[in-house]
Structure 1
Amino acid sequence: MEKKKQSWWAPAQKHLMTATGYMIPFVVAGGIIFALSVMLNGKAAVPTSGWLAQLNEIGSAGLALFIPALGGYIAFSMADRPGLAPGFITAYLATQIHAGFLGGILGGVMAGYAVNLLKRIKLPSNFRTISSIFIYPLGGTLIAGGIMVYVVGAPIAGIMDSMTTFLKGLSGAAKAPLGAVLGAMVGVDMGGPINKVAYTFAQTQVNTLPFLMGGVGAAGATPPIGLGIATLIFRKKFSPDERSAGTAALVMGSMGITEGAIPFATADPVRVIPANTVGASVACLTAFLLGCLNHAPWGGLIVLPVVENRWGYVLAVLLGSLTVACIVGFTKKDYVPKDLHTDSSDDEDLDINIQKF
């Protein structure tokens, strides 16, 4: 009997889930160590001297590596070991052009496709023994890395400049639309280029317009805290790994590290990214309307000592986080272990042989 044709989403989700499993330890280890250094610093700022600065470097290393790991293991899932190096390198290049985790996903997919295309080329028998360790990694890196640098880089830089100009034009607008726009930008890519534009816009005016950081700081904490709350309220919706990551997300969100939400976004982007966008927008808008002022160029609950109208700020984070938790909780399906998720015929279709060299 002819096997049922699969949609593109089933294998795509498998590749994302595989990469997310490898990526989570980078986010958790790096994010918590980074947050710990900020917390022990005694003020809402990155430490710049002493042993805390060195501790911060350790955490920063983990946060710098999680996007390359994400792209690398997407390519690994798609093309086996020959895709690993092209995926890591291309996703690293995505971080250099400030393309964020979405750029890392794109880099991993491009690398995986590039290597798989190269595998279709028939090689002489004397080249086959070195193809997996030389030809495919080299060719895949040149193709995917070249596209990332020469094709993707310039448009992303142009988009970021356009967004910065757009936000500057909104600075004199009413608080409600400005808060909604800034919050959505903070939540949509969780530390990526859009998030960075919104944060930079608020940080550069922290001394003159502290209400901007009041909203943006609350919005930045919302996605990870909201997803952490979701793993506690809707436990059946999440895998054991995701429930563990939920605890770390609560800590990172409190410390103002929006990247704590990324493992959930990579595993289920269709539900998580819109929820984060709406929740962060709610948080930023609420903080604006309640007149919260944040005098530190940072976010999360760690800045409460320098926030005016602290209860309003906490309420903004809580409302935004509950929005994220409810949207994800009510739209996400119950988690089903892999061995129960599909029947044997589907498993055969989706199985990826990671032992092939």
Structure 2
Amino acid sequence: MANEMKEMTYKEAVKLAMVEEMRRDENVFLMGEDVGLYGGAFGVSVGMLDEFGEERVRDTPISEAVIAGAAAGAAVTGMRPIAEIMFMDFSTIAMDALVNQAAKMRYMFGGKAKVPMVLRCPGGSGTGAAAQHSQSLEAWFCHVPGLKVVVPSTAKDAKGLLKAAIRDDNPVVFVEQKTLYKIKGEVPMDEEFIIPLGKGEIKKEGKDVTIISYGRMLPRALKVAEEMESEGISVEVLDPRTLVPLDKELIIESVKKTGRVILVNEACKTGGYLGEIASVIVESEAFDYLDAPIVRLAGLDVPVPYNPELEKAIVPSEEQIREAVLKVMNR
């Protein structure tokens, strides 16, 4: 079992992580809107109510403020809640409990209080769900001291990072890009498989250009990277996996190696997290190794449209990533 791998979807990997941790620790429980009888808005927790019962798989009222507040309170008293927010957009209603309570309590109590909670947030565009159900708000949470922010991009990472988040003694915002739920990958079946928070990964080695990306944009970056090989351009693809804490050392070393960097995500460009990654590079010794300006490819600064063609147009495409690679290579 320790070395066994199994192909599964991203969604199944998220469920597996929760099930394994709930079997391992009786203090872990799941709560959220329709997570029990219905199995969650995206079917992630289907069947968990049957195994763990109503005490540990709890359907909540339609109030994200209540969900986050109850999770923070339970965490302080020794439980390890996994709270699902149906859509990341609705985390706005949970902001007071999350930002002013969960993120602050450990500091305000001089380290004597722990807040081991996970806020699972399905987010992002690509499902035709329009402006109020398609936002990528991870940068907001990255600006709050006391919160950790995780964005897995593969099934394997979803399992390993969620298990690490559940075992962490701090509040973690766990972003699940909705279009990734159906992607498949090999996932370790070892129940102790954990990916430490704060450790990024090179998804593809390269020597000419570094693309740093996560979430829905990572598969696009990888596809372009593979295609550029036929044109004699070696592209390295780096997935930070955890935005807070950020694996700065991995980013700096990759940029020093290639001398060129393209940053790609789907969130709005203005005030987005790509600017923070760019600052890490500029403020480090990696800046002296740059042979071209840093390129940011991000979502347009508009609400996500309902029209499917317009929705496609507001986030970086494979062609735009390809053009950026050629640009930094002076091709």
> TM class, shorter-chain normalised?
under 0.3
Rg bigger for which structure?
1
- Structure 1 or 2: larger strand share? 2
TM-score normalized by the length of structure 1: 0.25
TM-score normalized by the length of structure 2: 0.27
